[in-house]
Structure 1
Amino acid sequence: MKMIGWFTTARGPGSFNLFSTMMASIKSGEIDAKLSFIFINRDVKGNQYRQRMIDIAKDEGIPVIIFPSDTFRPDLKEKDMATWREAYGEGLRERISQYHMDFGVLAGYMLIIDPETCRHHTLINLHPALPDTYKGTWEEIVGQVVENNDPSYGSTVHLCTAELDRGETLAYDSFPLAGLRSRIKDRDELVKAVRAEELKREAHLLMESIKSLVDGELVVKGGAVYDRKGRKVEDHPDLASRIDSRLRR
C-alpha cells in the first residue's frame, strides 16, 4: 500500500475540500493508500479549516506536523530568501524523515518548495492554471484569465521541481469559459464564478492523478513521467471528460 505525505497551508475551504475528498477516497477504497502524515506550514491561529483538518487527522490516527514558515527565522528571510528557503526545507525534511512516504502531495500548500527537497522526494503539486500558462496564486491567475479573455481555464497536477510551477505534467483539466462570459459581465463576479467552477473540479483532478500513481498507471523516475510499460509520457491527458463524469455521479 502506498504511503502519501500531505502538505498544506490549510488556509481555507479549497484546501479543506481537497483533504476531505482525499480522506473519502481512501475510506471508499477508490484510492488504495494511506496518509503517512499531514504537514502544515502554519499555526492554527483560529483558522477553522486548519483546526478541522487537524481534528480529523488526529481522529484517524494520522500524524500532524506543524512547522510555521511565517515565523521561521524572519531575519534570514528578509536578508536572503533563497538561503531562508533552503534552511526551512532542511527543517521540513528533518521533521518528515521519521515517516515513510512513497510520494507527497502539495494540496493548497502556499509556499515554494526548496530545490533540495524536490530532489530528495517525489512531490506532486496541484496548480490552478492550465499547463505552461500562468504562475502565482489562484487570485492572480484567475484575474489574468478573465482579463486576457482566455477561452478556457482549468488546473494542472505536475511534479514539483526547482523551477516554480514548471515540473513535468501528470494530468490537467480544462473547461470552456464562453458560457460564463455570456452570462456574467462584471469582472469581479466573473472571477468568482470561474474560481467556483474550478473549485468544483480540482479535487477530482487531484484524486485521478493520485490514483494513477497509486495504481501504477503512471510512474515517476528521475523527474519524468512514464506509463506502466516504461514508456515516457509525452502527451499528458486532459481529464475533463472523466471529471465531467465524476461530477454527474
Structure 2
Amino acid sequence: MSNRTRVAVLISGSGSNLQALIDAEKAGNLPIEIVCVISNRPDVRGLERAREAGIEAVTLDHKNFASREEFDQALAAKIDSYRPDLVVLAGFMRILTPEFTGHYLGRMLNIHPSLLPKYQGLHTHQRALDAGDSEHGVTVHFVTAELDGGPAAVQAVVPVLADDDATTLAARVQQQEHIIYPLAVGWFAEGRLTMAGNQVQLDGEPLPSCGYQVRSSSA
C-alpha cells in the first residue's frame, strides 16, 4: 500500500464520480488508495458507495457548526487524520474558506461541469444552452481560494446538439466526467500532474490555460 497515493474524497450527494474512482482503483488502473469518503450531508448515496467498496465513510454535517470557518477547521482535522496525499472534491457542494484551500494548495482537485473559466457556479448546462454555445464540457482543476477559479488540469469538450436540453447535455457531460477525473487523479498519483504557482504542469511541461484537452464527438 505504501507506494499508492492516499486519497480522501469529499462528497455531498450521489457520488457518481466517486464511483468512477472506486471502479478504476478496484480494476488496478489507478495507483491510489481511497482512504476515506467524507460527506457534509448525512445518508447520501455516495456514503453507501463507499461502504459497499469497503472504504471508511464519514459524515460531518455542516449544519452542526456555527460558522463556515468552524466547519472547515473540523473538516481539515478529519481529513488530515487519514494522512492523504490528495484531496478530491467529487460533488462537494460547499464554498471553502481561503484557510482551507490554502492548507491543501497543490494537492486538492475539483471537477466542474463547464469549460472553465466559462460558467463558474451553478446551472452550467442551462447557461451554455441559453448562450447558444456549440460546445460545452467539464473541467478538472486544482482548487484555489477563488470559487471554480483554480488552474485547469484536464478538460473534456462535448458538442451541444440542436435538440439538447439541460438534462441530455448534462448526461453527455457526465460520461466525460467519469473518464477525465480518474485520468487526472492517476496523473497526480504518478507524479506527472503538478501545480506550481498558478501554473499546471504535465510531465514537467506547462499546460495551456484550458489544461490538457480531450474532445468527444459522441452524441
Whose helix fraction is larger, Structure 1's or Structure 2's? 1
How does 1:34-73 map onto structure 2 within 5 Å? 34-44=33-43, 47=44, 49-57=45-53, 60=54, 62-73=55-66
Alpha-carbon offset, residue 226 of structure 1: 2.1
- What is the CA deviation profile of residues 201-249 of structure 1, one whole-angstrom value per residue up to 9, with x for unaligned ones? 11111111111111222123345322333x43335211225xx7xx9xx
Q: Name the CA distance, whole Å, in 1 between partners of 2:98 and 2:198.
A: 12
- Asked if the contact 1:128–1:141 (Cα under 8 Å) also holds between the matched residues in 2, the reply is yes
Q: What is residue 3 of structure 1 aligned with on the other side? A: 6
Per-residue CA shift, 1:102-160, capped at 9, x if unaligned?
111100111112211111112100001102101122xx111111111111100000111
Superposed counterparts of 1:134-213, under 5 Å: 134-137=119-122, 140-177=123-160, 180-181=161-162, 184=163, 190-213=165-188
User: Which secondary structure state, in structure 2, belongs to the residue aligned with residue 101 of structure 1?
Assistant: coil
| Paired amino acid for 1:134 | Y
Q: Secondary structure in 1 aligned to 2:62?
A: coil
Query: 2:26 aligned with 1:27, yes or no?
Result: yes
Cα distance between partner residues in 1 of 2:198 and 2:88: 15
Amino acid at match of 1:129: S
One-letter amino acid matched to 2:17? L
The reply on whether 1:133 has 2:118 as its aligned counterpart is yes
**Correspondence for 2:108 among 123, 127, 146:** 123
User: Between Structure 1 and Structure 2, whose CA radius of gyration is higher?
Assistant: 1
* TM-score between the two structures when normalised by the length of structure 2: 0.89
Change over 3 Å in CA distance of 1:54–1:210 after alignment to 2: closer
Residue 41 of structure 2 aligns to a residue in which SS? Answer: coil
Question: Is there any run of 5+ residues in structure 2 with no aligned partner, and where?
Answer: none
- Cα displacement (A) at 1:21: 1.4
Q: TM-score, normalised by structure 1?
A: 0.79
Tell me, in whole angstroms, the C-alpha distance in 2 between the residues paired with 1:219 and 1:191.
Answer: 33
Using the alignment, how far apart are the partners of 1:95 and 1:55 within structure 2? 18
Question: For the residues of structure 1 that align with 2:117 and 2:61, how far apart are their CA atoms?
Answer: 30
CA distance, structure 1, for counterparts of residue 174 and residue 147 of structure 2: 22
Alpha-carbon distance in 1 for matches of 2:199, 2:37: 25
For 2:208, the equivalent position in structure 1 comes to: 234
Greater than 3 Å deviation, 4+ residue runs? 221-224
The share of aligned pairs that are identical, in percent, is: 23
Spell out, residue by residue over 1:62-104, the C-alpha distance to the aligned partner (whole angstroms, 9 max, x if none). Answer: 222210113432xxxxxxxxxx222211111111221111111
